[in-house]
Amino acid sequence: MLGAGIVGAACARELALAGVQVTVVDRGGAAQATTAHGEGNVLVSDKAPGPELELAQMSRRLWPQVLAGIAESSPRAARAVEWEPKGGIVVATTDAGAVELTRFADAQRAAGVRAEVLDADALAAAEPWVTRDHTAALRYPDDAQVQPAAAAAALLTDALRAGAELRTGCEVVGAVVRAGRLTGVRTPAGFIEADAFVNAAGPWAGELAARLGAPVDVRPRRGDVLVTTPLPPTVFHKVYDADYVGAVGSSAEQLQTSAVVESTRGGSVLIGSSRRRVGFDDRLRPEVLSGIAAKALRLFPGLAGVPVMRAYGGFRPYVPDHLPIIGADPRLTGLWHAGGHEGAGIGLSVGTARLLRNLLLDQPTKIDVHAFRVDRPAVLGVKAQPASEERA
């Protein structure tokens, strides 16, 4: 397993529980990169009907089972995950947004998503501090939240208990290929041999795949999150602006912001979100934070006086067609991919891991995985991209 973020951790657990001998390798520490810089979304609400929604629904069903399984042997690790099935509320603030949101929800309902229309009173009861200036609101009872680093740690803890091995501070620098088959990877600490290698390197999956000789088009897409000082209970669901769905689905290189506001168990309010394709540039950009703050105040005008005490940013693994990559690499036997979830990797990790296990062990899958195959133009078409897209 190449990568000890949440996807690598979830995959390691599935495989180890199935009796596979698993070694997890990461050049940094476990769960310290993209996993520890997100909000912990487990969402169905932001996905349009299609293969990703199916994966999200499957993952949402799996999460409570997975956590219950972990709690049997590691109750402390399971508790630290802070699983909160608190539901999401999507608020539109324009007439056009209301029309769009209603149509979107109708289509989701047809695909089995629970989406309840909230009138003004119901919204005020559910979220007393949200703006009165809204045109539509929907509640998605199945949206949930986790503390993402703890979630990855819990999955990994269970994997280790089931016999997996973890090597941190160990960077993969090259491939050992024999007769067209990937039989080993080179690290500064020596070779690691295995029957299968899973690329779970998140936004670095493209670079890792290139080192192994089978490039895939995964790029970083930066996001920033603001953290307020702890407040008395003010925000009760994951509340977001209807234009968030548009931003998630867009491919724009330039800055996009949309409000996502939620509380954590510690009392702080987390405020996202932004999307920028700037490579791995980690510089703080005040205008990005301003954009996020302004959008959040449109939803919660009463938060204007609340101090922001911290901001953090991370890099989502972005694939041009916005779909994850799950499965065997047809160009290099022995190489598998599990990644490209963009901002949804926390939520989709457990479903992805189940599918990967099924594929690796030749078992039937619960949902159709054709859309996630490696062999598709968005993933392999690195050269087809205009050159300007690579600059940022």
Q: Which residues of the chain form contacts with another protein (CB under 8 A)?
A: 9, 27-33, 36-37, 77, 80, 147, 149-150, 152-154, 156-157, 160, 166, 168-169, 203-204, 220, 226, 228-230, 266, 268, 271, 279-287, 289-290, 293-294, 296-297, 303-312, 314-315
Cβ closest to another protein, residue 5 vs residue 334? 5
366 CB burial (10 A radius; 0-12, 13-18, 19+): middle
Instruction: Judge whether 78 and 67 are in contact, CB under 8 Å.
Output: yes
Closest approach of Cβ 216 to another protein, in Å? 18
Q: Which is nearer to another protein, 36 or 137 (CB)?
A: 36
Residues 6+ apart with CB under 8 A from 162: 13, 16, 17
Nearer Cβ to another protein, position 6 or 198? Answer: 6
Report the residue number, 179 or 304, with the smaller CB distance to another protein: 304
Nearest CB to another protein, comparing residues 212 and 271: 271
CB-CB contact of 177 with 332 (8 Å) = yes
Looking at beta carbons only, is 49 or 279 nearer to another protein? 279
DSSP E strand stretches across 155-282: 165-167, 174-178, 181-187, 190-193, 197-199, 219-228, 238-241, 256-263, 269-275
Q: What is the spatial distance between Cα 231 and Cα 99, in angstroms, rounded to a whole number?
A: 34
As measured in angstroms, the least distance from the Cβ of 277 to another protein is 13
Q: Which residue has the tokens 């007439």?
A: 95
Task: Tell the smallest beta-carbon distance from residue 307 to another protein (Å).
Answer: 4
The token pair at 189 is 């600490």
Output the smallest distance, CB 348 to another protein, in A.
20
Q: How far apart are CA 60 and CA 57, in angstroms?
A: 5
Residue where the block lists tokens 């620098």: 173
Minimum CB distance to another protein, residue 51 (Å): 29
| Beta carbon of residue 264, minimum distance to another protein (angstroms, whole number) | 10
Sequence-separated (6 or more) residues with CB below 8 Å from residue 387: none
Query: In whole angstroms, how close is the CB of 126 to another protein at the nearest point?
Result: 22
Tokens encoding 101: 């949101």
Distance CA 215, CA 199 (A): 11
- How far, CA to CA in Å, does 118 sit from each of 86, 162, 237? 16, 45, 13
Whether residue 312 contacts residue 35, with contact meaning beta carbons closer than 8 Å, is answered with: no
State which residue, 195 or 281, has the beta carbon closest to another protein: 281
Closest to another protein by CB, 143 or 158: 158
CB of 305 to another protein, least distance (A): 6
Nearer to another protein, 24 or 194 (CB): 24
CB of 316 to another protein, least distance (A): 12
In this structure, what token pair is assigned to residue 170?
């160990």
Q: Is 19 exposed, middle or buried (0-12, 13-18, 19+ CB in 10 A)?
A: exposed
**Closer residue to another protein (CB): 307 or 386:** 307
Give the side-chain half-sphere CA count within 13 A for 272: 27
| Minimum CB distance to another protein, residue 5 (Å) | 11
Query: CB neighbours of 313 closer than 8 A, spacing ≥ 6?
Result: 37, 222, 223, 224, 225, 282, 284
